[in-house]
Structure 1
């Protein structure tokens, strides 16, 4: 993957587009490079603007392709063939960020992640096939997991004082307001004024920052406002529409709609519509 990293960083420094062509979403075998030692466990590979989408042999290819398309839609939200925020993409590439997929949740839980650690790969996001574009009215977890990869490995490090997942950043100040106070650990009960009330005690402060940012962005983009979805999430998140976020949490709304950061303005739909418009 180092070969893919160099043109990204050089192009960023020169002020040019990061990639001359958008992704093709073709699934290939694992190329030479950092991931080569994992070829026995991982057999599917898709390159999305230099960010690998990796999958085990039993992961359905259509799920892998869908995740890759959503990643492209988030990174190139206006679908002009070039990533919207070169600084964020360069940060992700520099950190060797990747999306890793298995067939189902059990397969993900049983995977030996020490294989990544042994090969100095520490910045991946896991996702499993059964939660990916499941159909039948079920929520597509790709919208969450891929966004976590981008914000956690990209924005949090490209803009550490703004999107950093630690106390004192702009994002953290927004989080504290949303939770009704500053809590290093998940409280037994949130204040009644809180609108973000995630109660998973394994989710530390940095994790809470990432989860909160996901809820805010996807609510503004319209992912959370179906009647079924509202019922499913109301114990954790109360601002499920763009209007509610804008009215009750104007601080996070101003942050995620600030054109400086070029966060997604349109919800991915699994259809990357880039068409070549210039020679």
Structure 2
């Protein structure tokens, strides 16, 4: 059964334990004879290959799996605010509207305007990915609903439409559809108008606007969160496994983590074997044997 995975893009990765060195029951670097690990320099790379003996790999419980890619529906979630309440005349003439509104509905649509400020910091990127590996037979698990208290809007495929969640008292969990509009002499934000009745809406009401992102439908790189390790600078890494018992550290960019899955905005190619269990221990081996 497919399972929706939700990822929000931000400048911070929440709940991360930063790892500097992990020690293990391995011989010291100055004892090469019979050592369970060795480092091999790679031409053009600042990072050596970590080569383990078969026994060392077993002791560290190293496990790997292939990096995969899935199509991601991506939405921009933006903080917004109601500017013109239901039933009030517009103080700014609407000079242009999208052509997607159903015929005869324009009078109803202009009940309220929702303003999204020109503020990149207020935007979050949502990527909803179908997890084909999920064998949960109890039903789809919707992390979007857990966070926002409502069903995931990502099945809304009408280009140009947005989904508005009013968050004022008594309206939590209520979605409305809206469309983008241009407002005369206003360049301080993006504006949307409701396409359905929105009784009780007041100026100043807060809202979230979910709008399909231009990159919706692009591929997302997915690895287990256990594959990702962080150094003392906060940089994120994983270990690829190009051949048996050989491991190479690679820098990755983590878009967001939820649960046991990490989405990468930059990382190895699809199908690359990556360490899913034992990555922290491998970093410890590399730093210890490399004298860092």
Whether these two folds match at TM > 0.5 is: no
Q: Which has the higher helix share?
A: 1
Q: Which has the higher strand share?
A: 2
What's the TM-score once normalised by structure 1's chain length? 0.24
Which is bigger in relative contact order (C-alpha 8 A, separation at least 6)?
2
Higher gyration radius (CA): 2
What's the TM-score once normalised by structure 2's chain length? 0.24
